[in-house]
């Protein structure tokens, strides 16, 4: 053997099994399924949690609590955080809050809460405001602007129904 012969015949990807193509394919007759039994039949499938007849882990582990995956994700920001991160006279938008790392990437609505003190005059835009936050922003000489959020499905259905009736 010579050094240039070492890698001869080695291919990057193995060719796929051509199953059920007769005895000449090397996977003939039973096509890699063995003899008889449930697994050899067409349409056989096993549940992904099946553990050989033992009680599956999914059923053994106790289930606790409730998670509503349809609930809106409302992110809250305190006025104290706005006081620390923004200069006097700044327009605080949702994009500005995102840049300042005060809100995560995924959310449905942003709510400003009144925790902390606000001395700077800020123009704050958000989906919701608590009463104390509105009051503190106004006292500091700023402005609280309510931005429209996502339209709930029920409202959209009502709008569609009323449009069809006209």
The SS3 call for residue 145 is strand
CATH T-level fold of 74-150 = Ribosomal Protein L15; Chain: K; domain 2 (3.100.10)
Q: What is the pLDDT of residues 86-125, one digit of tens each?
A: 999 999 999 999 999 999 988 999 999 999 999 999 999 9
Q: Phi first, then psi: what are they for 15, rounded to 5°?
A: -65, 145
User: Where are the chain's structural domains?
Assistant: 74-150
Q: Which residues are 123's β-sheet partners?
A: 91, 143
pTM for the whole thing?
A: 0.57
Chain-centroid distance, C-alpha 102: 19
User: How long a stretch of residues is the chain?
Assistant: 166
* Residue in 53, 121, 128, 117 with CA at minimum distance from that of residue 89: 121
Report CA-CA distances (Å) from 19 to 14, 15, 46: 15, 12, 21
Q: What is the pLDDT of residues 143-162, one digit of tens each?
A: 999 999 877 777 888 888 99
């Amino acid at each position: 053997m010579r050094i240039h012969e070492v890698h001869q015949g080695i291919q990057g990807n193995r060719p796929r099994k051509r199953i059920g193509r007769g005895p000449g394919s090397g996977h003939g007759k039973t096509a890699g399924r063995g003899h008889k039994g449930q697994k050899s039949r067409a349409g056989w499938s096993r549940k992904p949690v099946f553990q050989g007849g033992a009680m599956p882990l999914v059923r053994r582990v106790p289930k606790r609590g409730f998670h509503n995956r349809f609930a809106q994700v409302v992110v809250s920001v305190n006025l104290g955080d706005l006081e620390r991160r923004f200069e006097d006279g700044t327009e605080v938008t949702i994009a500005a809050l995102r840049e300042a790392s005060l809100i995560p990437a995924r959310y449905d609505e942003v709510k400003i809460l009144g925790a902390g003190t606000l001395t700077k005059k800020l123009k704050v835009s958000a989906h919701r405001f608590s009463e104390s936050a509105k009051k503190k922003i106004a006292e500091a000489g700023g402005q609280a602007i309510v931005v429209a959020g996502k339209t709930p499905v029920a409202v959209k259905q009502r709008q569609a129904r009323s449009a069809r009736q006209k």
